[in-house]
Amino acid sequence: MGCCQQKAPENAADYVGELQITGSGVCGCSKPFRFKKRFCCGSGPAPAGKEWDAAAPGMEALLDEVDSIGEFTPACCKIADFDAAKKKLDEQWLPKVQAHLGQHGLTADIEVFWVYNGQSSSQEMRLRVYTLKLDATTLGVPATA
């Protein structure tokens, strides 16, 4: 995890891995878009472990929804507007992902950021996966007064 990444979700414990958004076509900037395992330098490791292995089959159908829900509309230079797509995914898709992952002791969030290599820049989007923090709330223990 780099110095400038957004904070992990409050209910997150250990980092499990991440999936990187990519589209089709030569540059990966055309529809359809989907979160996939690491395909380019700079991305973190793909999610792994027994919890992810149990959750992964159920994620396939959810990952298929990303393009239609995110509505990856081109902004500048025919590049998809990841900020707008993230807002839609956070509202309409991520709660379903978190519910599914939660059954396997995992949670996730979406991170959008810019990468600059000294000559050009590009926007990145990642689905970051974590184990759930085990506390009274996640275990369903009623709060005491």
What pTM was computed for the model?
0.83
Tell how many helices (H) and how many strands (E) occur in the chain. 4, 4
* pLDDT tens-digit profile, the chain (145 residues): 445 667 888 899 999 999 998 887 766 777 888 898 876 666 688 999 999 999 999 999 999 999 999 888 766 556 788 899 999 999 999 999 999 999 999 999 999 988 877 887 778 899 999 999 987 555 554 444 4
pLDDT score for 65: 95
109 in Cβ contact with 83 (< 8 Å):
no
CB count within 10 Å of CB 74 equals 12
CA distance 33 to 48: 22
**131 has which bridge partners?**
106
Query: Amino acid identity, residue 42?
Result: G
Write the single-letter amino acid at 103: Q
- Give yes or no for a contact between 33 and 22, defined as CB atoms under 8 angstroms apart: yes
Q: What is the pLDDT of residue 15?
A: 93
- Can you name the residues that pair with 112 across neighbouring β-strands? 125
